[in-house]
Amino acid sequence: MSTSAPPSYRRVMLKISGEALMGDQGFGLHPPTVQRIA
């Protein structure tokens, strides 16, 4: 078996829907929700 090489990437991008970021509001971004996810 060959040895494992380190991954060629340093970051992972996660796509989050707008619905996940709007919190209890019906529109826009809810800053506390965005901060909690970040």
pLDDT per residue as tens digits for the range 3-38: 788 878 888 888 888 888 887 777 888 888 888 887
**C-alpha to C-alpha distances, 23 to 7, 10, 16, nearest whole angstrom:** 35, 30, 13
How many structural domains is the chain composed of?
1
Structure tokens at 26: 């019906």
Asked if residues 21 and 32 have their Cβ atoms less than 8 Å apart, the reply is no
pTM, full prediction: 0.48
Instruction: With respect to residue 29, please indicate whether it lies within any of the assigned structural domains.
Output: yes
Instruction: With respect to residue 24, please indicate whether it lies within any of the assigned structural domains.
Output: yes
**Which residue range(s) make up the domain with 38?**
14-38
Instruction: With respect to residue 34, please indicate whether it lies within any of the assigned structural domains.
Output: yes
* The pLDDT value given to residue 28: 84
Instruction: With respect to residue 6, please indicate whether it lies within any of the assigned structural domains.
Output: no
pLDDT tops 70 at residue 2: no
Instruction: With respect to residue 27, please indicate whether it lies within any of the assigned structural domains.
Output: yes
* The pLDDT value given to residue 1: 56
Instruction: With respect to residue 9, please indicate whether it lies within any of the assigned structural domains.
Output: no
Q: How far apart are the first and last CA of the chain?
A: 39
Instruction: With respect to residue 1, please indicate whether it lies within any of the assigned structural domains.
Output: no
In sequence order, which residues have a C-beta less than 8 Å from that of residue 23 and are 6 or more positions away?
Answer: 30, 32, 33
